[in-house]
């Protein structure tokens, strides 16, 4: 009895140590406040429009052997072309602002109202799959197809879009990408505001463009 | 974050943003409209413009329900996004005196600590006697509330600095000093005009506040009456210079863009000999850089000509009165151009050219010197409007930042806030500067002598 307890404890200890070692080996990148850019671009019957922000929250956790070496011609640590990775990102809706010359506040209000920002305060994305695109040219950003659950205005859809990752300084990475989507697929009716001079109809297609800088947590 | 130097456009635009069409239309007709009424469905004849909703509401608590506290409640009731959810006064009849019209859904407290403990309260206006500000402001900031503190911030430089320091360090909330003139659209219209050299070289300034009023408050409770009359005694009051003059002295200092280096004061108790030791009539000479001086006087003994400021330049003089202003040009002054079409008002033998936004539009400003204008509310309204908007916007932006990044890089947070279009409002530094000037001016009055205003006084 005592011996079996000893082995059980030893097994637990070894398992725990093994898991701890594995956990330590993960590379955890966390968001940081400088250099992030988010843009939402759209069209309308009057002119194209754009909303800008600089806040992206979240993290990326990569498998132990995944290293972004700009001098390498391949990406190590993959499993059948897939990147072992967990990631979550969010953008607070009210941090997106228009920089239009004329009445930018109206655009801000329209966007927040259209996206039901009082109920759904964030655009959220949870990564479920990331596939490496090869061949990779030395000195260029690493390219991937990212798939995950994107939540906007209370509706969640599965989306796939291309992204790139490149090392920045010694301990940072920059993740860049463009997410094309239709407002209506997220239950959002394209707004058609009246400014007194006529009706402006926004197009259904929009793009979320981002550059996200993360720092390695050691 | 204060962008007072380039605000006329932003302010006017943002003001419209924060105000429904119905409100604006009512304002143009001079009809007082309360938030609850503004929320009613618009009439069918209203133009079918896309409505711009007011910013999300910021829930207010008001501490101190004397005469001024009730004025604050009245203005908050006019705002579309500033519901008052709590009011507080430690004197029961003051609490009872607040009717349901101005704070219909407010919870009532007899202790400010209980009000600050309420999670429903996001922002507080502190309108208590000046000596009580320090304790309440520090507790409110500690409780994570946005704070609007009436001026002077304090009766002593030590207390004023303690408040300023706490406001500076409370990076998660908005602090606004109650220098309401700094939020008035007309002032922001005038600021670039006065600083542009349109009046020539600055020569001098003059300002006055005249009102026949004893300042005496009465109560059936002798102890409460003593507390009510805190303004009448030097131990608790900064006198006319501090309690009244601070707004005009600050306005002149703001427009002249420089602090005075010395103040000479005079004070007498001429009419109200009721045991008070605060002068009922004061004069002060404020010495600004380059030989420019402000001559200021205030009295509780005569109401002639009320309150105004005059700015004298080598080409013209400007009078600022209520929400209006006029320029009086010298015969040899260069032609500005627009004044040909502007409204003219006769002041005895002088002709004043109306200086208001849209000055060439007669219909907007009326046809006489006392007619309505394009900024029909008083400065307290605009100051509270700015506070509510900034508390909502900046408070929200700070929360978004901290939720995303934490508080490890506050410099980055400050940088990101610079992109926000904030409403014009006095910050802690401006509140501290004005308070110190008021305290030194009162010191000069009490001592009846010249006192130096050392620049080190303004450092924290």
The full set of domains in chain A, from first to last, is 26-217 (2.40.128.110)
Domain ranges of chain B: 60-182+379-428, 185-365
What residues in A contact B53, CB-CB < 8 Å? 109, 113
ipTM score of complex: 0.81
- By Cβ distance, the residue of A54, A90, A109 closest to B416 is A54
- Using an 8 Å CB-CB cutoff, list chain A residues near B47: 196
C-alpha to C-alpha distance for A105 and B44, rounded to whole angstroms: 25
A180 to chain B, closest Cα gap in Å: 24
Neighbouring-strand partners of residue B442: none
**Closest residue of chain A to B394, computed from CA coordinates:** A95
Angle between helices B67-76 and B379-405 (to 10 degrees): 70
B52 touches chain A (CB under 8 A): yes
Please state the rounded mean pLDDT for residues A112-138.
93
What pLDDT, on the 0 to 100 scale, is given for residue B338? 78
At residue B365, the pLDDT reads: 46
A90 touches chain B (CB under 8 A): yes
Partners of residue A113 in chain B, C-beta under 8 Å:
53
Given CB atoms, is A34 within the 8 Å cutoff of chain B? Answer: yes
> A105: Cβ–Cβ under 8 A, 6 or more apart, which residues?
A98, B13, B14, B17, B52, B421
Partner B contacted by A114 (CB < 8 A): no
Mean of pLDDT values over A97-114: 86
Query: Which residues in chain B have their CB less than 8 angstroms from residue A95's CB?
Result: 397, 400
CB-CB: which of B396, B404, B412 is closest to A94? B396
What is the interface size between A and B, counted as CB pairs within 8 Å?
Answer: 58
Q: Answer yes or no: is pLDDT of A74 > 80.
A: yes
- Give the mean model confidence (pLDDT) for residues A59-88: 92
Q: How far is A90 from chain B (nearest CA, A)?
A: 8
> Quick one: B435 exposed, middle or buried, by C-beta within 10 A (0-12, 13-18, 19+)?
buried
Q: What residues does A209 pair with on adjacent strands?
A: A39, A178
Question: What percentage of residues in chain A have a pLDDT greater than 90?
Answer: 66
Best of A96, A105, A125, A210 to mutate (most B CBs within 10 Å, chain B): A105
Helix (H) or strand (E) holding A205: strand A202-217
Q: Give B403's contacts in chain A (Cβ within 8 Å).
A: 57, 92
DSSP-derived secondary structure letter, A82: B
- The whole-number pLDDT of residue B355 equals 86
Q: For residue A39, report the phi and psi dihedrals to the nearest 5 degrees.
A: -135, 140
A51 touches chain B (CB under 8 A): no
Check CB contact under 8 Å for B49 and A194: yes
What confidence score (pLDDT) does residue A176 get? 98
pLDDT in the model for residue B155 = 97
- What tokens does B279 get? 């002068």
Q: Enumerate the residues of chain A whose CB falls inside 8 A of the CB of residue B52.
A: 105-106, 109
Nearest chain A Cα to B18, which residue? A105
Q: Could you tell me which residue, A62 or B365, shows the higher pLDDT?
A: A62
List chain A residues with CB under 8 Å of B404.
31, 33, 55-57, 90, 92
A120 within 8 A of A193, measured Cβ to Cβ: no
DSSP state of A194: B
Characterize A177-208 residue by residue with b for buried, 16 or more Cβ atoms within 10 angstroms of its Cβ, and e for exposed: bebebebeebebebbebeeeeeebebeeebeb
Per-residue pLDDT of chain B (460 residues; tens, 9 = 90+): 343 443 333 333 343 344 333 333 333 333 344 444 444 444 444 444 555 566 779 999 999 999 999 999 999 999 989 999 999 999 998 998 887 777 888 999 999 999 999 999 999 999 999 999 999 999 999 999 999 999 999 999 999 999 999 999 998 999 999 999 999 999 999 999 888 888 999 999 999 999 999 999 998 889 999 999 999 999 999 999 999 999 999 999 999 999 999 999 999 999 999 999 999 999 999 999 999 999 999 999 999 999 999 999 999 999 999 888 999 999 999 887 777 788 888 888 888 988 876 554 444 445 555 554 556 789 999 999 999 999 999 999 999 999 999 998 989 998 888 888 889 999 999 999 999 999 999 999 999 999 999 999 999 9
B261-270 burial code (b ≥16 CB/10 A, e <16): ebbbbebeee
Which residues in chain B touch residue A31, judged by CB atoms under 8 angstroms apart?
Answer: 404-405
Beta strands in B38-136 (DSSP E): 60-63, 84-88, 107-109, 123-126
Q: How confident is the model at residue A83 (pLDDT cuts 50, 70, 90)?
A: very high
- Per DSSP, A199 falls in state B
Beta strands in B269-418 (DSSP E): 281-287, 293-299, 307-313, 316-321, 324-329, 344-347, 350-354
Partner residue opposite A32 with nearest CB, options B14, B405, B421: B405
Vertex B258 angle, CA B158 and B9, to 5° = 105
Which of B193, B205, B197, B274 has its CA nearest to residue B245? B205
Taking the CA atoms of B421, B256, B368 and B379 in sequence, report the sign of the dihedral they define: positive
Q: Does A177 touch chain B (CB under 8 A)?
A: no
Chain A: residue whose CA lies nearest to B416: A54
A109 interaction partners in chain B (CB closer than 8 Å): 17, 52-53
Rounded distance between C-alpha atoms, residue B50 and residue B67, angstroms: 39
Sorted by sequence, the CB contacts under 8 Å of residue B189 that are 6+ apart come out as B8, B355, B356, B357
Whole-number Å distance between alpha carbons of B444 and B451: 6
CATH superfamily entry for domain B185-365: Dihydrodipicolinate Reductase; domain 2 (3.30.360.10)
Yes or no, beta carbons of A90 and B404 under 8 Å apart: yes
Q: Is A98 on the interface with B (CB under 8 A)?
A: no
- B421 has a chain A CB within 8 A of its CB: yes
Tokens of B381: 């309204």
CATH class of this structure's domain B60-182+379-428:
alpha beta
The DSSP secondary-structure symbol of B243 reads: I
Least confident of A31-45, A158-172, B270-284, B356-370: B356-370
Q: In the prediction, which pLDDT does B56 show?
A: 79
Place of tokens 């989306």: A159
Determine, for residues A31 and B405 on separate chains, whether the beta-carbon distance falls below 8 Å: yes
Output the pLDDT for position B23: 38
B14 min Cα distance to partner chain A (Å):
8
Distance to chain A for B50, nearest Cα, Å: 5
- Residue A101 reports pLDDT greater than 60: yes
Q: Does B47 touch chain A (CB under 8 A)?
A: yes
């Amino acid at each position: 009895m005592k011996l079996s307890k000893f082995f059980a404890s030893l097994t637990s200890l070894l398992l725990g140590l093994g898991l701890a070692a594995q956990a330590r080996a993960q590379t955890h990148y966390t968001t940081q406040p400088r250099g992030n850019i988010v843009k939402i671009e759209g069209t309308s019957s009057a002119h194209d429009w754009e909303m800008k922000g600089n806040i992206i929250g979240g993290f990326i956790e990569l498998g132990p052997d995944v290293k972004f070496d700009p001098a390498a011609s391949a990406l190590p640590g993959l499993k059948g072309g897939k990147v072992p990775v967990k990631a979550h990102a969010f953008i607070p809706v009210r941090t997106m602002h228009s920089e239009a010359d004329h009445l930018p506040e109206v655009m801000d209000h329209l966007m927040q109202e259209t996206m039901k920002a009082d109920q759904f305060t964030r655009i959220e994305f949870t990564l479920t799959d990331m596939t490496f695109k090869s061949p990779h040219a030395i000195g260029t950003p690493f390219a991937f197809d990212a798939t995950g659950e994107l939540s906007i205005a209370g509706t969640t859809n599965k989306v796939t879009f291309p992204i790139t990752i490149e090392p920045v300084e010694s301990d940072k990475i920059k993740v860049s990408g463009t997410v094309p989507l239709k407002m209506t697929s997220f239950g959002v009716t394209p707004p058609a505001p009246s400014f007194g001079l006529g009706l402006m109809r926004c197009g259904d297609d929009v793009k979320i463009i981002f550059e996200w800088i993360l720092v390695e947590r050691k | 974050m204060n962008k007072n130097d380039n605000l006329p456009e932003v302010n006017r635009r943002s003001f419209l943003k924060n105000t429904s069409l119905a409100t604006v239309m009512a304002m143009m007709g001079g009809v007082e409209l309360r938030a609850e009424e503004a929320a009613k469905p618009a009439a069918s004849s209203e133009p079918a413009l896309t409505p711009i909703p007011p910013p999300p509401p910021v829930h207010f608590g008001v501490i101190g329900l004397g005469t001024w506290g009730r004025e604050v409640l009245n203005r908050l009731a006019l705002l579309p996004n500033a519901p008052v959810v709590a009011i507080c006064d430690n004197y029961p009849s003051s609490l009872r005196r607040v009717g349901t019209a101005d704070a219909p859904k407010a919870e009532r407290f007899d202790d400010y600590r209980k009000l600050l403990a309420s999670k429903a309260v996001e922002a507080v206006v502190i309108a208590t006697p000046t000596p009580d500000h320090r304790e309440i402001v520090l507790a409110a900031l500690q409780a994570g509330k946005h704070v609007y503190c009436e001026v002077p911030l304090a009766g002593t430089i030590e207390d004023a600095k303690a408040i300023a320091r706490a406001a500076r360090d409370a990076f998660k909330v908005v602090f606004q000093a109650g220098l309401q003139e700094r939020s008035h659209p007309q002032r922001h219209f005038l600021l670039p005009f006065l600083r542009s050299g349109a009046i020539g070289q600055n020569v001098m300034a003059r300002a006055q506040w005249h009102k026949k009023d004893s300042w005496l408050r009465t109560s059936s409770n002798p102890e409460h009456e003593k507390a009510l009359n805190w303004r009448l005694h030097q131990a608790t009051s900064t006198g006319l210079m501090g309690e009244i003059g601070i707004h005009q002295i600050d306005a002149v200092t703001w427009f002249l863009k420089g602090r005075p280096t010395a103040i000479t004061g005079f004070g007498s108790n001429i009419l109200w000999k009721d045991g008070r030791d605060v002068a009922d009539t004061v004069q002060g000479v404020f010495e600004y850089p380059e030989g420019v001086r402000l001559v200021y006087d205030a009295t509780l003994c005569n109401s002639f000509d009320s309150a105004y400021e005059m700015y004298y330049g080598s080409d013209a003089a400007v009078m600022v009165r209520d929400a209006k202003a006029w320029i009086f040009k010298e015969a040899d002054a260069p032609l500005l151009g627009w004044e040909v079409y502007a409204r003219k008002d006769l002041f005895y033998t002088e002709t004043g050219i109306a200086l208001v936004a849209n000055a060439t539009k007669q219909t907007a400003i009326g046809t006489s010197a006392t007619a309505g204008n394009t900024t029909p509310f008083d400065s307290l309204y605009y100051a509270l409007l700015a506070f509510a908007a900034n508390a909502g916007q900046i408070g929200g932006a700070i929360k978004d930042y901290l939720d995303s990044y934490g508080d490890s890089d506050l410099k980055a947070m400050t940088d990101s806030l610079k992109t926000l279009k904030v409403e014009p409002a006095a910050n802690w530094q401006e509140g501290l500067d004005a308070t110190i000037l008021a305290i030194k001016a009162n010191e000069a009055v009490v001592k009846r002598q010249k006192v130096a205003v050392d620049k080190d006084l303004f450092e924290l």
